[in-house]
Amino acid sequence: MARNIPNYHNEKDSPFFGLRSKAQLANYLFISVAKLKKFSSGGEYYYSFTKQKKSGGVRKIDAPRDDLKAIQSRIADLLQRITPPDYLFAPVAGRSYVDNAARHIGARSVRLLDIEDFFPSCTANKVIWFFKTRMNCSSDVAVILKNIVTKDGALPQGSPCSPILAYLCYVDMWEEIEKIVDDEKCRLSVYADDLTISGKVVPEKIIWRIKQTLHRHGHRYNLSKERSRFNQPSEVTGVILTREKLLAPNRQNQKIYNLRRELAATRSQEKRDKLQAQLKGREAQIRQVTGNLETKNM
């Protein structure tokens, strides 16, 4: 399947760079100046609910209503055209959780870190910082954009532009972390709030410095999700990573086995069609994992 990859450009070629006109901003977002003012002046444009976490507990979701969602989607589309660094895999069009794991094939040592409550920790002030300092927008344009993309002083879980803004608004933090890792000849990948660091050896001082950097920028790491592996398989973003290749986790193979058994025992054509669609999807996931090329050892 062909991947829909945008034509990338650097920050200075973004339509947001150097933006000082509200009318031009409205034009970029395909809305009127009146609507721009409406959505940047507060109001109840979200519906909230909770969602069960796989690890237990609940996560609050603030989903924008359709009219605001369309504007946020446009902002996300424009921001995702800024060239991403090689280490960033989500949210990046054309890069997947499998690509994220494949970056570390050949490594002897693998360390995994998770940022706790990432979006709620991404503050409105950092959104203003990004648009004003990195994108050189005027103060009023930066504040308007901040009002459109944040809720209650943070990036909302459920907004289509929160994933890319969570990276861009902390790009200074990510650049610090990348340098820490590169200086020790190790390799970094970032998949949303998951960090993977690998190499022949990953010194403990790297992990300590990364944690310090996260804390300094207002983030916390999730101790219960921290993992360390040396010369043994690791699970990275749902994929089993070995030194030679990627493997699908046993639970994926078990699900395929169970689907095949259920399909063989089912007589209802309607149910068979649903099961066959599920089976094809699971098999495609397996092929995506096992289809990655092996690379040289690090």
CB atoms within 10 A of CB 117: 15
Averaged pLDDT of the chain:
91
What's the pLDDT at 298? 42
HSE (side-chain half, CA atoms, 13 Å) at 50: 7
pLDDT cut 70: percent of the chain above it: 95
User: Strand pairing partners for 189?
Assistant: 196
Q: Please say whether the beta carbons of 219 and 167 come within 8 A.
A: no
Mean pLDDT across 117-136 = 96
- What CA–CA distance (Å, rounded) separates 8 from 30? 21
Give the DSSP H or E segment for 239. strand 239-241
Q: How far is CA 98 from the centre of its chain?
A: 13
Any idea which residue has 């699908």 for tokens? 248
Determine the Cα angle at 165 with ends 24 and 129, to 5°. Answer: 70
Split at pLDDT 50, 70, 90, the class of 24 is very high
Split at pLDDT 50, 70, 90, the class of 186 is very high
What's the pLDDT at 150? 96
pLDDT digits 0-9 by tens, 190-237 = 999 999 999 999 999 999 999 999 999 999 998 888 999 998 999 999
Mean pLDDT across 28-47 = 91
- Of 181, 185, 216, nearest to 195 (Cα)? 181
Question: What's this model's pTM, rounded to 2 decimal places?
Answer: 0.85
Q: Which residue type does 218 have? A: G
pLDDT digits 0-9 by tens, 247-269 = 888 888 888 889 999 889 888 89
Structure tokens at 236: 């990275």
Q: Is the pLDDT of residue 284 over 90?
A: no
The 3-state DSSP composition of the chain as helix, strand, coil percent (nearest 5) reads 45, 20, 35
Split at pLDDT 50, 70, 90, the class of 4 is low
Sequence ranges of the domains in the chain: 246-290
What's the pLDDT at 3? 56
SS3 74: helix
Q: How far is CA 264 from the centre of its chain?
A: 38
pLDDT digits 0-9 by tens, 58-93 = 888 999 999 999 999 999 999 999 999 999 999 999
Determine the Cα angle at 222 with ends 112 and 214, to 5°. Answer: 80
Split at pLDDT 50, 70, 90, the class of 292 is low
